């Protein structure tokens, strides 16, 4: 009798900006020996390129065409985060600034852009062994993921986290303005017609507002072990 080899597990992590997805998804992947993939960085990579080449962000066909002519590769860095290469050039440190923050939801709202990104993301997860974080991973990109998490946190906690990240990167930003930007971005991400930010019905919901990162990761790993236990 031949036994079919099981595909390595696939984990989806979704939620709004600043809910802690990338930190916990990266740590979870590291502890389980899985590959962490940050899909937001792919949309940020395209937004960066569009800004860099002066593209009109309201011209949807042009953005779709731009993506067709753009390679976006994610590589694992020694700290587990993703290095982002756009057309072979590392742009990792240019993706978190105010310009990209302000334009990425527009780029991510273009249906043709999403269709192409989703195709690429599914190809990355084809052989399993990944923890993928984004907005539509459990609902649309990988609906058959072995395990799905939806992370939430209060707007105040999310804004404080993003503020701390940006200050560490050397950006001088006002907390109140940042909070309004996050709210605006969440609204755009949740209200777009195609593959919006949404909680999958079978996702495990974790509110990270007052919980330490390592506690959240411990919980996620406990769920993982329960789900993948034969």
Q: Shortest gap between Cβ of 2 and ligand DC (angstroms)? A: 37
Find the part of the chain contacting ligand DC (CB under 6 A) among 38-46, 56-64, 73-81, 83-91. Answer: 38-46
Closer to ligand DC at the Cβ: 126 or 222? 126
Choosing from 27, 49, 135, 148, the residue that interacts with ligand DC (CB under 6 A) is 135
Shortest separation between residue 1's beta carbon and ligand DC, angstroms: 40
Three-state DSSP class for residue 110: coil
Binding test (CB under 6 A) with ligand DC, winner from 43, 48, 149, 150: 43
104 binds ligand DC (CB under 6 A): yes
Nearer to ligand DC, 49 or 185 (CB): 185
From the CB of 226, what's the least distance to ligand DC, in Å?
A: 26
Contact stretch for ligand DC (CB under 6 A) within 130-138, 169-177, 202-210, 213-221:
130-138
Helix axes 175-191, 155-168, angle to 10 degrees: 120
Q: How many residues bind to ligand DC according to rule CB under 6 A?
A: 14
Query: Residue 43 CB, nearest distance to ligand DC (Å)?
Result: 4
Q: Using an 8 Å Cβ cutoff, are 92 and 43 in contact?
A: no
Cβ neighbors of 198 (< 8 A, separation 6 or more) are: 14, 135, 136, 139, 190
User: Strand ranges (DSSP E) for the chain?
Assistant: 10-14, 35-38, 72-76, 82-86, 89-90, 130-134, 147-152, 204-207
Does 181 bind ligand DC (CB under 6 A)? Our answer is no
Bridge-based pairing state of the strands 10-14 and 35-38: unpaired
Please give the residues from 67 up to 96 whose contact with ligand DC meets the rule CB under 6 A: none
Contacts of 66-71 with C-beta under 8 Å, sequence gap 24+, read 67/112, 67/113, 67/116, 67/117, 68/116, 70/45, 70/46
CA Rg, the chain, in Å? 17
Q: Is 161 in the site for ligand DC (CB under 6 A)?
A: no
Gap between the Cα atoms of 25 and 35, Å rounded: 10
> Least CB distance from residue 186 to ligand DC, whole Å?
8
| Rounded-to-integer distance, Cα 110 and Cα 60, Å | 6
Region from 67-75, 80-88, 100-108, 171-179 binding ligand DC, contact rule CB under 6 A: 100-108
List residues near ligand DC by CB under 6 A.
17, 39-40, 43-44, 104-105, 108, 134-137, 185, 189
């Amino acid at each position: 009798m031949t036994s079919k080899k099981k595909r390595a597990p696939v984990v989806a992590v979704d939620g709004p900006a600043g809910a802690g997805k990338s930190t916990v998804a990266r740590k979870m992947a590291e502890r389980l020996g899985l590959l962490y993939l940050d899909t937001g960085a792919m949309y940020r990579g395209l937004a960066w390129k569009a800004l860099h080449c002066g593209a009109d962000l309201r011209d949807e066909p042009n953005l779709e065409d731009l993506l067709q002519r753009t390679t976006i590769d994610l590589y694992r860095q020694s700290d587990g985060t993703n290095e982002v290469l756009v057309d072979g050039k590392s742009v990792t440190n240019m993706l978190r600034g105010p310009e990209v923050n302000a334009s990425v939801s527009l780029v991510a709202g273009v249906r043709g852009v999403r269709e192409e990104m989703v195709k690429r993301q599914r190809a990355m997860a084809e052989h399993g062994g990944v923890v993928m974080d984004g907005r539509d991973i459990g609902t649309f990109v990988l609906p058959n993921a072995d395990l799905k998490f939806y992370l939430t946190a209060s707007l105040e906690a999310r804004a404080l986290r993003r503020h701390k990240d940006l200050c560490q990167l050397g950006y001088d930003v006002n907390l109140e303005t940042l909070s309004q930007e996050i709210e605006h971005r969440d609204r755009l991400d949740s209200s777009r017609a195609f593959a919006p930010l949404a909680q999958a019905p079978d996702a495990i919901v974790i509110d990270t507002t007052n919980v330490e990162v390592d506690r959240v990761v411990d919980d996620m790993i406990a769920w993982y072990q329960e789900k993948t236990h034969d």
